[in-house]
């Protein structure tokens, strides 16, 4: 069974690590802070403990057995013998750019690199490595261990072999996949980020309240979540960074972030992960 390297233990990386560990893979989970690794371990063990309640039909598993398959580490060198790598660090080119040179040097030649990004073009990331044919976009949805489908992105150089390898890996953990061509934001976030940003503008202009904006999407359109709840789930910091990436890539003012979004991020209100965003989660909502 493939040994999986997961870089970044934030909102997404911990879900990706959990997914593969739950399916029996050995995982190396790397971050730059002990705090992120400790909170990832806690969240993964909590998720496994409550899985049979939250997901009826899920077998009862020992949380320590699942987390025991994960090597939580600050040391990138532990990635030397992974068979497949999935990168989930902050949505910031200046964070991703220097990392890929290191990953390229540490990982075996030919090890596929799955890039989990909201909006950065995969071809641009692939250009940072000496293995562009082995680089593929793997846009996991949040929470990564629960959402059924992954958006796969073919970069300019991504080989058919890398696509087949990635599909087989996802089949093995019961994830569906939809393959799209490379474009900043891909299919999902070209639409979702604009929708979220427009919803924030509605709030900013006083047209409606956060609760009512979300209620309209759920009760009128039948969406499972409204756009502002979705933003809280993603993380307002990540939404803002993604809009900036889209704005830079297309040079189109339709992606300019709403000033209210910037203000909330500056205020440290990043959504669920900080307990407050457009809605409050202090009481464990
Ligand atoms: P996050 O801010 O929650 O976590 C990012 C993590 O990366 C942090 O723990 C940080 O310490 C770590 N990190 C930063 N630099 C690092 C480095 N050099 N090496 C190792 N770790 C490093 O962000 P997130 O929401 O998990 O997003 C991660 C990626 O996934 C982003 O590119 C984002 O756009 C994408 N994404 C996010 C969502 C979402 O809903 N949040 C969904 C799909 C894709």
Q: Please write the tens of the pLDDT for every residue from 116-141.
A: 999 999 999 999 999 999 999 999 99
- Whole-structure pTM value: 0.96
CATH H-level, domain 4-181: superfamily: NAD(P)-binding Rossmann-like Domain (3.40.50.720)
Residue 230: strand pairing partners: none
- In angstroms, rounded to a whole number, what is the distance separating the alpha carbons of residues 16 and 121? 20
The conformation of residue 280, written as its DSSP 8-state character, comes to: B
Q: Is 242 in the pocket of ligand 1 (CB under 6 A)?
A: yes
* pLDDT mean over 110-115: 98
- In angstroms, rounded to a whole number, what is the distance separating the alpha carbons of residues 240 and 270? 10
- Could you state, in order of their start, the residue ranges of all structural domains in the chain? 4-181, 189-274
Q: Which of 127, 173, 150 is nearest to 18 (CA)?
A: 173
Residue 258: pLDDT band by 50, 70, 90 thresholds?
Answer: very high
For residue 139, indicate whether it is catalytic: yes
Distance 132 CA to ligand 1 centre (A): 21
* pLDDT mean over 19-24: 97
Mutate to test the pocket of ligand 1, among 7, 11, 235 (most ligand atoms within 8 A of CB): 11
Q: Yes or no: is domain 189-274 CATH 1.10.1040.10?
A: yes
How big is the chain, counted in residues? 285
């Amino acid at each position: 069974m493939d040994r999986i390297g997961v870089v970044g233990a934030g909102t997404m990386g911990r879900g990706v690590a959990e997914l593969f560990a739950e399916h029996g893979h050995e995982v190396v989970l790397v971050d730059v802070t002990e705090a992120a690794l400790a909170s990832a371990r806690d969240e993964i063990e909590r998720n496994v403990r409550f899985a049979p309640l939250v997901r009826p039909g899920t077998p009862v598993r020992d949380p320590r057995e699942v987390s025991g398959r994960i090597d939580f580490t600050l040391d990138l060198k532990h990635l030397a013998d992974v068979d497949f790598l999935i990168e989930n660090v902050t949505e910031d080119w200046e964070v991703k750019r220097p990392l890929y040179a290191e990953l390229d040097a540490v990982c075996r030649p030919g090890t596929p690199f799955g890039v989990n990004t909201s909006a950065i073009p995969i071809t641009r990331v692939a250009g940072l490595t000496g293995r562009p044919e082995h680089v593929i976009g793997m846009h996991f949805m949040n929470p990564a261990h629960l959402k059924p489908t992954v958006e796969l992105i073919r970069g300019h150089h991504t080989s058919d072999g890398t696509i087949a390898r990635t599909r087989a890996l996802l089949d093995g953990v019961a994830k569906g996949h939809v393959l799209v061509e490379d474009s900043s934001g891909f299919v999902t976030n070209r639409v979702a980020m604009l929708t979220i940003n427009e919803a924030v503008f509605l709030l900013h202009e006083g047209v409606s309240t956060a609760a009512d904006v979300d209620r309209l999407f759920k009760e009128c359109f039948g969406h499972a979540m409204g756009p502002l709840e979705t933003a809280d789930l993603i993380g307002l910091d990540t939404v803002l960074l993604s809009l900036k990436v889209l704005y830079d890539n297309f040079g189109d003012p339709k992606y300019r972030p709403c000033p209210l979004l910037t203000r909330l991020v500056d205020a440290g209100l990043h959504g669920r992960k900080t307990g407050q965003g457009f809605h409050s989660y202090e009481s464990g909502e």
